[in-house]
Structure 1
Amino acid sequence: MAQRDQNAGAAARLAADLAGMVRFFSRLPVPRIGPADDPAAMPDFGRAVVVLPFASLVIAGPAAALLWLLGSTSLPAPAAAALALAAGLLATGALHEDGLADTADGFGGGASRARKLEIMKDSRIGSYGAAALALSLLIRTVLLAALVEDAGAQGAALGLLAAAAVSRSTAICLVAALPPARIDGAGRAAGTVTAGAAGAGFAIAAGTALLIAAAPIGGDAVLGAAAAAGAAVAGLGLLAVRQIGGQTGDVVGAGQQVAEIAFLSVAAAAVG
């Protein structure tokens, strides 16, 4: 009986962590799912990082479903891809895109570490941020359209889900690898994510992506895409250390964007 209660408690915590991660990274409505779930609380990233790949599948589900649906019609593939990305923006509230824009503005427009961090906290978007945001949307639209044309609508949708799982789990590794660049903000509020937990989350994400997208894209290509996402985030991490001395929530958001682009680039090249 005690073992059964312990297992039930662990399952309840995992479900609560999953719900918390979906709430944190999206605007999708998630009701309270049990006594272990507190919708008002910040997720415990140190524990919940291992369920982030599955939360990412939920968050990317509407965009992937729309891509599958529209890609199966006579609508041009770029239009289907752009509309799917729009659905993704609605689901997340453009959370990661906002991080990318703020990071680009701060890194590009600030002359000192303090000034870069100040710019990154400013809600207004500058020329660097606008350019980065436009390029991210354009590149991902082109890559998703290529997947629709070469792997079919279903294959493109599965590729998008795989990219979502890998990109967020890879970006969270920045929290484990780098110190917070400021004393407040999401980068510090996320708490302690150990290297072991971040590595486990990335491994789970890569395995999930392999299960989802190996058939339409190829197993070797999926693993190569995951490696490319990791390399892209590592490069961003090195840049962040040089620019501001660590990570912030904006940098983590930018990490998701560069990881998704890297993953989709390898996937599109593999099926093209």
Structure 2
Amino acid sequence: MTQQADNNRSLQRCIQDEWQAFWLAVGFLTRVPMLVRIDYSQTLMNRSSVYFPLVGLLLGVVYAALFVLLDGFWNTGISVALVLAFHLWITGAFHEDGLADSVDALGGGYTVARRLEIMKDSRIGTYGAVALIMALGLKGLLLADANSVWLALLLSPVISRLTPLWLMRFLPYVTDPDTSKSKPVAEGFSAKRLAVATAMTVTVAALAGALVPAILSVAVVALLWGGYLWRQLRGYTGDALGASVILAELVFLLALVAA
């Protein structure tokens, strides 16, 4: 009986930890307030990353529903623009900021140290501004041109948020570990949790009939962007992970529209 009670307590603790990890992922990626008490630890932050695609799926459901509602009042282009504005608000332009910082650093720095220094600068430069404008503009055009806009809005957030997990697994983490908010996520990401996140994302894509664009987008960005980061930084940073989400979204939408 004692062993059974210990097993039950262990199971309950595991469920509680995973529940907190999920809400920690929600709080990390969005402005949505965490509705449960979090016993924060670096280990819990590490575990939360498996839920990034799930948070993306929840965001996608909200985006798709919002588009369907708005499309009843305005044309497709205006509705897509309003959904993108909501996306930037609900996420705090989290990944877009990473894209701008990464492009500024990789375009303006000639050494690893200088690139990391530029990446920490909160100011946006010419390279970052141009990249941000181009990325948001292309995303809006691709969404408006999709055969099923609501489906593209539903799928792109979940699929794109798998990409940084692959980078975290196979590249070393670089930058100042004492000042980076991404440090807790960057350490100790297991192959088992990567497999779980990948299986969930693949299942969603397969059910939606978009398996090929999904696999293509994650693989292309993980290989090309990951390889570029290795050559330029010898690893990845938190900003580079955010940029990978934007790049994966664009590649996925390009493949989806072309298909």
**Distance in 2 between the 1:78 and 1:229 partners?**
27
Question: Map of 1:12-51 to 2, 5 A cutoff?
Answer: 12-32=16-36, 37-38=38-39, 41=41, 44-51=44-51
Q: Does 1:178 align with 2:171?
A: yes
In structure 2, distance between residues paired with 1:50 and 1:133: 27
Which region of structure 1 is more displaced relative to structure 2, 12-21 or 50-59? Answer: 50-59
- 1:174 Cα deviation from its structure 2 partner: 1.1
Tell me, what secondary structure is at the counterpart of 1:182? coil
SS at match of 2:161: helix
Residue pair 2:46, 2:184 contacting (<8 A) in 1 also: no
1:125-204 superposed matches below 5 A: 125-147=124-146, 150-151=147-148, 156-184=149-177, 185-190=180-185, 191-204=187-200
1:35-74 equivalent positions in 2, closer than 5 A: 37-38=38-39, 41=41, 44-71=44-71, 73=72
Give the whole-Å Cα distance in 2 for the aligned partners of 1:55 and 1:142: 24
Q: Is the 8 A contact 1:163 1:209 kept in 2?
A: no
Q: For structure 1, which runs of at least 5 residues remain unmatched after alignment?
A: none
Kept in 2: contact 1:23–1:30 (CA 8 A): yes
What is the CA deviation profile of residues 189-248 of structure 1, one whole-angstrom value per residue up to 9, with x for unaligned ones? 32211334323312221212333xx2xxxx2x3333332232123211111111111100
TM-score (norm 1): 0.85
Match of 1:117 in 2: 116
Q: What count of residue pairs does the alignment treat as equivalent? A: 252
Could you tell me which amino acid in structure 2 is paired with residue 195 of structure 1? A
Name whichever of 80-89 and 246-255 sits farther off.
80-89
Aligned partner of residue 242 in structure 2, secondary structure: helix
What displacement does 1:169 show?
Answer: 1.7
Asked if 1:206 corresponds to 2:166, the answer is no
TM-score by length of 2: 0.89
Indicate how the Cα distance of structure 1 residues 189 and 13 shifts in structure 2: closer, same or farther if over 3 A, else same.
Answer: closer
State how 1:227-246 maps to structure 2 within 5 Å. Answer: 227-246=216-235
Distance 1:132 1:101 in 2: 6
Following the alignment from structure 1 to structure 2, what is the Cα–Cα distance between the partners of residues 54 and 127?
Answer: 34
Deviation for aligned residue 1:140: 0.8
**SS state at 1:183 partner:** coil
> Structure 1 residues 129 and 49, CA, compared in 2 at 3 Å: closer, same or farther?
same
Q: Kindly state the Cα deviation for residue 187 of structure 1 after the two structures are TM-superposed.
A: 4.1
Amino acid of the structure 2 residue aligned with 1:58: L
Q: Whole-Å Cα distance in 1 between the matches of residues 152 and 90 of structure 2?
A: 18
> Given residue 210 of structure 1, which amino acid in structure 2 is its aligned partner?
A
Shift, 1:41, TM fit: 5.0
2:169/2:190 contact within 8 Å kept: yes
Which residue of structure 2 lines up, in the alignment, with residue 79 of structure 1? 78
Structure 1 residue 42: Cα displacement: 5.5
Give 1:223's aligned amino acid.
V
Contact 1:26 1:59 in 2 (8 A): no
Gaps of at least 5 residues in structure 2 are: none
Give 1:257's aligned residue: 246
Structure 2 distance, partners of 1:42, 1:86, is 32
Aligned partners of 2:9 and 2:212: how far apart in 1?
A: 38
2:173 alignment partner, SS class: coil
Distance of aligned partners of 1:74 and 1:32 in 2 relative to their CA distance in 1, 3 Å threshold: closer
Distance (Å, rounded) in 2 between the aligned partners of 1:167 and 1:64: 16
In 1, distance between residues paired with 2:19 and 2:184?
21
SS of equivalent residue, structure 1 residue 49: helix
The Cα of 1:166 is off from its aligned counterpart by 1.4
RMSD (Å) for aligned C-alpha atoms: 2.0
